[in-house]
Amino acid sequence: MLSLFGIALIILSIFTVIPAILAVVMKDLLACVIALAIMSLLLSLYFYLLHAPDVAIAEAGVGACITTALFIIAIRATQRKEVEK
Amino acid sequence: MNDGRMSIIVRTIATMLLPFILVFSFYVIMHGHLTPGGGFQGGAIAASAIVMMIAAYGHERMKKKVSEEGLSMAESIGAAIFALVAFAGVFMATSFMYNFLVGTPVFGKIPPFGGNSGILDSGGVLPILNIAVGMKVIGGLAAVVMIMAMAGDEE
């Protein structure tokens, strides 16, 4: 019998995996970066539920903000669409 | 995109949010020895505030307020404070990173046994090391984003 905490963990892990798969599949790189930011934010919520608030704060600050800004700056300097070989 | 800055709504909201984010990051750094968080986390929050201002105003205007030389200087000063405090344990007491500030008026109060809500004036050298790490992380992360934003529009 699952507890409410276990059900919340399962639902949250499913919602964390969906943006990660989308970031691999999608061709628009800007949309991939936004999906990665959403995944990082949900992952920080997951860390908080697993009693690691230290890691959650670091993940929310670095993963959801600074790497997103770095990826967007890199996309602006290169090209937005992924090309097929 | 007119010369790298966003619309007036984004700029106004970013300017209004900036002091709150900076105060929260300073809270996370100063309570690093009591609550979750510390130097790295608070520094990442403050660097994300600087990244938000770069995104809202463009790095050309932001470079007049925060230069990358200043950020590199903050990073180096943080590393120097960390090393000095760590080596001061060798000379003022017995070993490397010895907590020689316990009992002194600077962060030196010894908390009582049992449950308490946390005393900010405690921890010895730990708050000083947290401030040093915070300065280093603010300088490093903000300088990385600013230099990448400047390198993006050279070609």
Closest chain A residue to the Cα of B153, Cα to Cα: A77
pLDDT of residue B104: 83
Write out chain A residues lying below 8 Å of B152, CB-based. Answer: 73-74, 76-77
Contact criterion met (CB below 8 Å) for B137 and B131? no
Chain position carrying tokens 């280093």 = B136
Closest chain B residue to the Cα of A76, Cα to Cα: B152
Structure tokens at B135: 């300065």
Write out chain B residues lying below 8 Å of A76, CB-based. Answer: 152
Whether B48 has its CB under 8 Å from any CB of chain A: the answer is: yes
pTM across the whole model: 0.87
Q: What is the pLDDT of residues B6-61, one digit of tens each?
A: 889 999 999 999 999 999 999 999 998 888 888 999 999 999 999 999 889 888 88
Domain residue limits, chain B: 8-152
| Amino acid type, B20 | F
Of B37, B51, B151, the CB nearest to A65: B51
| Amino acid type, B33 | H
DSSP B109: P
Chain position carrying tokens 């936004």 = A34
Interface of A with B (CB under 8 A): 53-54, 56-58, 61-62, 65-66, 69-70, 73-74, 76-77
Range with the lowest mean pLDDT among B45-49, B64-68, B82-86, B149-153? B149-153
pLDDT of residue B124: 85
B38 conformational bin, left if phi > 0, alpha if psi -120 to 50, beta if neither:
left
DSSP A61: I
Closest chain A residue to the Cα of B53, Cα to Cα: A69
Handedness of CA B56, B57, B59, B62 (dihedral sign): negative
Write out chain A residues lying below 8 Å of B48, CB-based. Answer: 61, 65-66
pLDDT of residue A10: 92
- Residues A62, B52: C-beta atoms closer than 8 Å: no
Question: How large is the average pLDDT for residues B122-143?
Answer: 91
d(CA A38, CA A20): 9
Domain residue limits, chain A: 27-85
Q: How many CB pairs under 8 A join A and B?
A: 52
Nearest in space to B53 (alpha carbons), one of B20, B11, B23: B11
Write out chain B residues lying below 8 Å of A56, CB-based. Answer: 36
pLDDT of residue B79: 94
Closest chain B residue to the Cα of A77, Cα to Cα: B152
Concatenated DSSP letters of B38-54: -HHHHHHHHHHHHHHHH
Using 70 as the pLDDT threshold, list the residues of chain A that sit under it.
1
